Amino acid sequence: KQEVTQIPAALSVPEGENLVLNCSFTDSAIYNLQWFRQDPGKGLTSLLLIQSSQREQTSGRLNASLDKSSGRSTLYIAASQPGDSATYLCAVRGGYQKVTFGTGTKLQVIP
Amino acid sequence: GAGVSQSPSNKVTEKGKDVELRCDPISGHTALYWYRQSLGQGLEFLIYFQGNSAPDKSGLPSDRFSAERTGGSVSTLTIQRTQQEDSAVYLCASSRARGTETQYFGPGTRLLVL
């Protein structure tokens, strides 16, 4: 059974700081990994999708890496802004298209 | 519409009643997913559709839960004889194709079972 862990569970940083969110998974037989953000009371917004054959994806200030063999992914946020405050979730897609989500990292960026 | 829509946005029901939740995926998206997010819990995968078929229903929590999709578009998640532990936000997502595509999520249906 796939298990996805995100560390830290919560993070508070001053505006402008660069930060790294971690995601680890137990079964490396995945098709892809996706990072989302979830704002309070709202649905999920896709940030980046990394296929199993890829090592990283970039979008603006966000960079996500994937090391499938070690079961790890990181989401790097550069020059954090208060608008980045949200819960960040990683999700891995495995067999039968089953998607397993991590428990999330709640990020607060302090102005 | 441009995104995934779900209805109702909120549903309050009494224990033992049946409820039906609806998901309208993005037009042209062949893959559709249902998830559940309970208070303080992570997202739990329920079921996946490719077209009208669901190859794996093992994620459904109990036999009170069922889902169907017709015409390769709208999907309904039905919960029979609701229990208080069914209270959660039910999220639907769709993607263009199976396997490799980005999932786009709807706003969810908040279900409260009294």
Q: Write the DSSP assignment of B21-55 as a string of letters.
A: EEEEPPTT--EEEEEEE-TTS-EEEEEEEETTB-S
Give pLDDT, residue B39: 78
Is the confidence at residue B104, as pLDDT, over 80?
yes
Q: Which of A10-14, A63-67, B33-37, B54-58 has the lowest mean pLDDT?
A: B54-58
In chain A, which stretches have pLDDT less than 70? 96
Taking the CA of residue A20 and the nearest CA in chain B, the distance in Å comes to 20
Instruction: Fill in the amino acid letter for A35.
Output: W
Give pLDDT, residue B1: 52
Give pLDDT, residue B99: 59
Kindly identify which residue of chain A lies nearest to residue B49, measuring between CA atoms.
A97
Chain B residues inside the 8 Å CB shell of A89: 42-43
Rg (CA), chain B: 13
**Residue B30 touches partner A, C-beta closer than 8 Å:** no
Taking the CA of residue B23 and the nearest CA in chain A, the distance in Å comes to 13
Contact assignment for A98 to B55 by CB distance below 8 Å: no
Q: Is the bond preceding residue A111 a cis peptide, omega within 30 degrees?
A: no
Classify burial at A83, counting beta carbons within 10 Å of its beta carbon; exposed 0-12, middle 13-18, buried 19 or more: exposed
**Residue A14 touches partner B, C-beta closer than 8 Å:** no
Give pLDDT, residue A95: 73
- The answer to whether the CB of A39 falls within 8 A of the CB of A51 is no
Contact assignment for B45 to A104 by CB distance below 8 Å: no
**Residue B31 touches partner A, C-beta closer than 8 Å:** yes
How many CB atoms within 10 Å of residue A26? 12
Give pLDDT, residue B20: 98
Is the confidence at residue B98, as pLDDT, over 80?
no
Contact assignment for B55 to A97 by CB distance below 8 Å: yes
**Residue A50 touches partner B, C-beta closer than 8 Å:** no
